[in-house]
Chains A and B, each alone.
Chain A
Amino acid sequence: MKIIGVIGTNSANSATRKLLEYMQQHFKQQAEIELLEITDYPLFNESDDQSESALLTGDAKKIEAADGVIISTSEHNRMIPSSLKSFLEWMSFKLHPFNNKPVMVVGSSVTKQGSASAQLALRQTLDAPGLGAIVLPGNEFLLSSSAAAFDENGALKDQGTIDFLGTCFKNFLQFVKVADVLNGVDEMNFEPGTYSVMASGHNGKVPMKVTFSENRIENIEIDTEGETTGIADTVWERMPQQIIDGQTLNVDAVSGASDTSRGVLTGVAEAVSLAGADPDVLKKRPKPAKNVADEPVEYEADVVVVGGGGTGLSAAATSLQAGKKTILVEKFPAVGGNTIRTGGPMNAADPEWQNTFDALPGEAATLKSLMETPDEKIDPEYLEDFHALQGQLKEYLDSDKHFLFDSKLLHEIQTYLGGKRQDLSGNDIHGDYNLVKTLVDNALDSVKWLQNIGVRFDPNEVTMPVGAKWRRGHKPLENQGYEYISNLQRYVKEEGGQIITDTRVKKLLQQDGKLVGLEAENFDGQKVIVHASSVILASGGFAANTKMVQQYNTYWTKVDDDIATSNSPAMTGDGIKLGTDVGADLVGMGFSQMMPVSDPVTGELFSGLQVPPANFVMVNNKGDRFVDEYESRDVLSQAAIDNGGLFYLIADDNIKATAYNTSQEKIDEQVAAGTLFRDDTLEGLAAQIKVDPAELVQTIKNYNSYVDAGKDPEFGKDVFDLKVEKAPFYATPRKPALHHTMGGLKIDKQAHVLNEAGEKITGLYAAGEVAGGLHAGNRLGGNSLADIFTFGRIAAQTAVTEHEELATDATTSASHSE
């Protein structure tokens, strides 16, 4: 019999702990009692859910697997200690491992009371629906005057007490068996047949057919025609399988596709109701058993890559091209990361191509003002290149040519100046010269390399991604970010690379100062070990980890607890921790980028009416404009933060027509759902968004007059398009969301990870968003894709070269010793 003993106190020297330790020893013939400490539990906070932390899930698993639980409590102010209460609150919030679990309560106190009052309260608590334990009645074991109850070996002194404890424990073991019988009775009775219901997918409703026999769910069929391929595919396969295997609706959502997962569960629950049974019973059943083997799965490789975004896949492809055995480990069910979410344009100076396009009005002025930047504004290491650029610009501007200009130097200086920022305490940051130089010198090669892999770019359009400062974007012909991922993934597989999904890397393995592989955990909770002398970290940034952003932030005056993110939920900064655990240094961690015009709840960029910035009219919660809408992302974000975060994009019917992200059907849906506001009058719109109608009307009147005048005396907006005048009027709620993290592991230009002394950590490489130093205080739009495909390849090239050196070293030293 396997019993968990919860030590219900966090104080080090306590009779409560001694009592359980004694029971563990004394009853070891009858049962195996494993002790569980609650000392490391944070105080429960409903708004700061930690249910997914390793500590909580680990303990919940142990409790679920045990035959019974003993809780020993002390007494504080007549109640159980807050630390024990906090532990129980966590276990009642999302995880519920105590549901139907047989529990025995024991306790002690230094007074005569012996925790009688606390034990009574504990019984009531264990009865609460979130816990739902079945508690052994009677058998109240109260140890009073506990200070004197144990001898120096930790054994109870009083024989009467020992005997009574023995009786209680014997009764508990008996009770566990009875409870087992009790738990077996919730058999289901269905009206056999096949029931049609709808599950909600990403693109709308998905038809689903559920078949029942008298006691079982026999089959779930989902018609996924009309759904896009991607991560949801895993949902369609995995959820039905788990529901049927476990005959339970207590199934975890697939990471990264929680909405779709919930859609399936709700659909099946509806079918269960239609079949005349109670879905709540199925929801309370235990999670499907995972057949976790105790033995880890082990793999051997030359190069192992952590993370399957653009960085990881291009690193894996490069390593395969050099003939190395390559494994890529990805924590989510599908590869793609943030890279698959991008619009796709990637910056690379390609003058030959760009010169075939005409220059646009205003571009010459931009170049001229850049050329006239005084030397004092340029950091010394960039001065020589800046002067060379001045020469190029002068020649171009003097020549009266009308084509689109570009050069590696222009890309370099724009990346450098774009990333120059000051934090709240006045510290300056700018991009590392070697990294910036390496980026601009190799970005075009990366484009060509991707073309060879199969990525198709649009030769007819040179784009300027939002926030890019120049038109040098190479845009995939179709499919946006998916174009990169699908081609790279296919290539890696064709070349014999192995991609292990659903497996999260948890630890890097190091021996004698050299990397020797990594340790991970797969979906079933099984340990996975990859042995390799080169490890490439490509696990992305941490913009989906608000706490971590807050912890490091030195740039924003405020990062709200409930700030949304545009990122995949996978971006929790795992790689930063993996790196620092083996001594890596960090750089620029305080700098993150926000996307000012994001959905306040989901962080999505493509909801509401997204129009060109010339047509942005931003008003705060008073109905006033507050910023030049044409400003850069970080100025807009900080202005929004200063105005309380939430703001609205006001549009009229004409501006609506310039939205590039939506359709009438989507607009109507969002209005109905209350995520977009529409009204026939500005006053009505003001009432809907709860701002003063007179104020909003005045604001719009002023704005319209600025459009007429081509000048905004209030905030200095100088690029206008349409006025706000034709009903119906719209308000799209927006709030800055976390978008990108510039800081990360410190690397050199060959992508070696450096330690605090600036030395290479042998065998460890990093690239992409997990690394820092390149984008510094602000990343230009379109520079990430250039970064990840350039440094992803470089990391692999360095690893491959050094792997050969390491291998030769090993053979020479072997032959020496012979």
Chain B
Amino acid sequence: MNYTGIIGNNARNSTNRTLLQYIQKHFGGSDQITLCEIADVPVFNKPESHVAPPAVAKIAAAIEQADGVIIATPEYDHTVPAVLSNTLEWLAYTTEALKDKPVFIVGASYGALGTSRAQGHLRIMLNGPDLGARVLPGQEYLLGHSLQAFDEDGMMVVAEDIQSLEDHMKYFAEFVKSNQGK
């Protein structure tokens, strides 16, 4: 499969970036995964023009060419961080690149809950009429205690986390395939 991963954080040290980089490495044998950063996306302020600025156009192009999209979200104040919603606002307002695109949501947080509230909100956003993505239903990949989850080389240390990630990626691949027929 050909996936695009969106790193939903602009912080220099983000365990969500580590998570996506790990996914890129771990599934590199079978899937080609391109990662997108969102730190360069300008502040969205509902401009007159509905044309995507270059940083957004680049992400939109990466999304468009992919079979599916994996979004990694941190949780800031019980919801999706501003940088990620900022990027989604641009996509909804300009290219609508996520329309009908299969999306798998993952998230890493320092605490135990593993971004469950942020993921819930992200799902509502992606399912809304303006973005209109097809979010993998019935599955959530929550990585809690993310600071302890990786070793220095960015490898996941807990076997169950890896197993669960592999299962989720399998479901997602099936979901992508079932959507491709439509």
List A residues at the B interface (Cβ < 8 Å): 10-11, 39, 42-47, 76-79, 81-83, 85-86, 88-89, 92, 117, 121, 124-125, 127-128, 130-131, 561-562
**A127 and B78 contacting across the interface, CB-CB below 8 Å:** yes
7 closest A-B pairs by beta carbon, nearest first, are A86-B82, A82-B86, A47-B12, A11-B46, A128-B77, A46-B11, A85-B82
Q: When chains A and B are docked, how far (Å) is the Cα of A91 from the Cα of B77?
A: 10
Give CA–CA (A85, B86) in the complex, Å: 9
Contacts of B24 in A (CB 8 A): none
Which residue in chain A gives the minimum CB-CB distance to B9? A46
A85 CA to B87 CA in the complex, in Å?
Answer: 13
Name the residue on A nearest B88 (C-beta).
Answer: A77
B82 in contact with A128 (CB, 8 Å): no
Q: A86-B82, A561-B12 are in contact. Are A78 and B44 (CB under 8 A)?
A: no
Q: Which residue of A43, A76, A77 is within 8 Å of B83 (Cβ)?
A: A43
Supply 5 A–B pairs (Cβ within 8 Å), ascending by A: A79-B79, A82-B89, A86-B82, A89-B82, A125-B79
User: How far, in whole Å, are A695 and B88 apart by their CA atoms in the complex?
Assistant: 48
User: Taking chain A's interface residues, is the majority helix, strand, or loop, or is none over half, making it mixed?
Assistant: loop
Pair A82/B44 contact, Cβ less than 8 Å: yes
A86 to B87, CA, bound (A): 13
**Alpha-carbon separation in the docked complex, A77 to B91 (Å):** 11
In Å, the complex CA distance between A78 and B10 comes to 22
**Known contacts being A42-B43, A77-B92, is A47 close to B79, with CB within 8 Å?**
no
Q: Which residue of A lies closest to B14 (CB)?
A: A46
Chain A residue at minimal CB-CB distance from B77: A128
**Which residues of B are found within 8 Å of A76, using beta-carbon distances?**
85, 89, 92, 130
Q: A92 contacts which chain B residues (CB < 8 A)?
A: 76-77
Interface residue from A10, A43, A88 paired with B77 (Cβ < 8 Å): A88
Q: In the complex the two chains form, is A85's CB within 8 Å of B85's CB?
A: yes
Known: A82-B89, A83-B45, A89-B77. A562 touches B83 (CB 8 A): no
Q: Does B35 contact A (CB under 8 A)?
A: no
Most A-side CB within 10 Å, residue of B12, B78, B117, B131: B78
Please name all residues of chain B whose beta carbon is closer than 8 Å to the beta carbon of A46 when the two chains form the complex. 9-12
Which partner residue on chain A sits nearest B131 by CB separation?
A77
Which residues B67-108 have CB closer than 8 A to chain A? Answer: 76-83, 85-86, 88-89, 92
* Contact segment of B25-33, B54-62, B120-128: B120-128
**Chain B interface, >50% SS class:** loop
16 further interface pairs, Cβ-Cβ under 8 Å (given A79-B79, A121-B121)? A10-B43, A43-B10, A43-B86, A44-B82, A77-B88, A82-B86, A83-B86, A85-B77, A85-B80, A85-B81, A85-B82, A86-B86, A89-B81, A131-B77, A561-B12, A562-B12
A44, A76, A81 pick with most chain B CB within 10 angstroms: A76
Known A-B contacts A79-B124, A83-B82, A86-B86; A124 and B76 likewise in contact (beta carbons under 8 Å): no
Any A CB within 8 A of the CB of B13: yes
Q: Is the CB of B124 within 8 A of A78?
A: yes
Which residues on the A side are within 8 Å of B43 (C-beta)? 10, 42-43, 82-83, 86
Q: For A111, give the chain B residue with the smallest CB separation.
A: B129
Contacts of A117 in B (CB 8 A): 124
Q: Are A45 and B79 closer than 8 Å at their CB atoms?
A: no
- Rounded to whole angstroms, the CA-CA distance of A85 and B74 in the bound complex is 14
B45 touches A11 (CB 8 A): yes
- Quick one: which of A39, A77, A81, A128 contacts B128, CB cutoff 8 A? A77
Q: Is the CB of B86 within 8 A of A125?
A: no
Note all chain B residues with C-beta closer than 8 A to A131.
77
Task: Give every chain A residue within 8 A of B45 (Cβ-Cβ).
Answer: 10-11, 39, 83
Q: Which residues of A contact B80 (CB under 8 A)?
A: 79, 85
CA distance A78 to B80 in the complex (A): 12
Q: Is B39 in the interface zone, CB < 8 Å from A?
A: yes
Query: How many angstroms between the C-alpha atoms of A77 and B131 in the bound complex?
Result: 7
Point out the residue from B10, B76, B85 that lies within 8 Å of A79, measured CB to CB.
B85
Residues of B within 8 A of A11 (CB): 45-46
Q: How far is the CA of A88 from the CA of B130 in the complex (A)?
A: 24
Contacts of B89 in A (CB 8 A): 76-77, 81-82
Chain A residues within an 8 Å CB radius of B124: 78-79, 117
**Contacts of B81 on A, CB cut-off 8 Å?**
44, 85, 89
Q: Which residues of B contact A88 (CB under 8 A)?
A: 77
Closest CB in chain A relative to B129 CB, distance in Å? 9
Question: Which residue of the partner chain B has the closest CB to A690?
Answer: B152
**Nearest CB of A to B69, in Å:** 15
- Contact check, A130 vs B77: say whether CB atoms are below 8 A apart: yes
Q: Which residue of B lies closest to A124 (CB)?
A: B78
Closest to B84 in A: A82
Nearest B residue to A127, CB-CB:
B78
CA–CA, A562 and B13, complex, Å: 12
How far apart sit A290 and B116, CA to CA, in the bound complex (Å)?
Answer: 41
Chain A residue at minimum C-beta to C-beta distance from B117:
A124
CB atoms of B125 and A79 under 8 A apart: yes
In the assembled complex, the CB of A292 is this many whole angstroms from the nearest CB of chain B, namely 30
Q: Which of A39, A81, A85 contacts B79 (CB 8 A)?
A: A85
| Contact between chains at B77 and A78 (CB < 8 Å) | no
Q: How far does the alpha carbon of A47 sit from the alpha carbon of B83 in the complex, in Å?
A: 13
In the bound complex, CA of A83 to CA of B43 (Å):
8
Chain A, Cβ-Cβ closest to B124: A78
Most buried by A among B10, B78, B82, B88: B82
